Amino acid sequence: MATKKNLVANRAALTHKVRYAIGHPHRIAPYVKRAARDRWLAFKHPDHVGYYRAVMASDTRRNPEAAVGSQTHDRWLALGKMQFDYLREHGLTPQSRMLDIGCGNLRAGWHFIDHLEPGHYYGIDISPDILIAAKQTLTTQGLQEKVPHLTITQDLTLDFLPDAYFDVVHAHSVFSHSPIEIIDECLAHVGRVLAPGGFFDFTFDRTTGTEHQVLREDFYYRTETLIALAATYGLKARFMDDWETRRHGQSKIRVTAS
């Protein structure tokens, strides 16, 4: 069963917040706590990457699985498998070379690493804390022989990676936490690292109404904004209808070089 998405709400609007608070009074205190923490972190880290890295450090300290968005271990397992099953259905083979942008604690990454030939998985993330948790997942799953790359990054210029190398580039639940400048930077550079015939899949929080953000943590975009942005870099982008049937709140776009 597909997850029902609310595509019209503007979560940044005061009216939405008040209505939501009346319907979910138990969520008011945690929201206020999170908003206060986020304000403090934003004050200390004016740039988005620095800010989000601090959010991840704080969340990962409490629970790495919750830090990547899964409130229970069962959901963490299910979300990882969902990503893996989708890409396998879309042609991911053991020989594929994969770049996983915002790999987190390898919720999906451990499936990819298990499936791919040694050295074929490359995970990058802005958060050192979540990458330490990623190494823990790798160890728990006994995947040392697969020698994946797990690398910290400051930006998405991908300048340390070779030309025309990756068959699959993937960013799950990363642009849902990214201002448009970061998505723009990624789209400006991803074409260079895509192998011939390769594709870049990313998920995003979709709105059909006003684009907005909440606490600088969650960003909502219109499909046409992202497709048009890809086109400015000569990339083709299409909305993946078959992802909509999965139990996931975000939508997916696939980008190809032509």
Binding to ligand SAM by residue 193, rule CB under 6 A? no
Q: Give dist(CA 197, CA 191) in Å, integer.
A: 11
Binding to ligand SAM by residue 99, rule CB under 6 A? no
Q: What is the DSSP string of 233-256?
A: TT-EEEE-GGGGGSS-SSEEEEEE
Binding mask 105-124 for ligand SAM (x = CB under 6 A): --xx---------------x
Q: Give dist(CA 210, CA 48) in Å, integer.
A: 21
Binding to ligand SAM by residue 101, rule CB under 6 A? yes
Which among 5, 51, 60 has a CA at the least distance from the CA of 244? Answer: 5
Q: Give dist(CA 203, CA 3) in Å, integer.
A: 14
Among the residue ranges 38-46, 49-57, 160-168, 244-252, the one whose residues contact ligand SAM (CB under 6 A): 49-57
Binding to ligand SAM by residue 183, rule CB under 6 A? no
Among 92, 148, 158, 178, binds ligand SAM (CB under 6 A): 178
Among 41, 42, 54, 68, binds ligand SAM (CB under 6 A): 68
Q: What 3-state class would DSSP assign to 87?
A: helix
Cα 172-61-21 angle, rounded to 5 deg: 70
Among 87, 161, 168, 182, binds ligand SAM (CB under 6 A): 182
CB 83 within 8 A of CB 110: no
Binding to ligand SAM by residue 84, rule CB under 6 A? no
Q: Give dist(CA 84, CA 90) in Å, integer.
A: 10
91 — phi, psi (to 5°)?
A: 100, 10
* Closer residue to ligand SAM (CB): 100 or 167: 100
Among 102, 148, 191, 198, binds ligand SAM (CB under 6 A): 102
Pairing of the two strands 212-214 and 218-221 = antiparallel
* Closer residue to ligand SAM (CB): 68 or 194: 68
Among 97, 115, 120, 172, binds ligand SAM (CB under 6 A): 172
Binding to ligand SAM by residue 69, rule CB under 6 A? yes
Binding to ligand SAM by residue 125, rule CB under 6 A? yes
Residues engaged in binding ligand SAM (CB under 6 A): 49, 52, 56, 68-69, 101-104, 107-108, 124-127, 130, 153, 156, 172-174, 177-178, 182
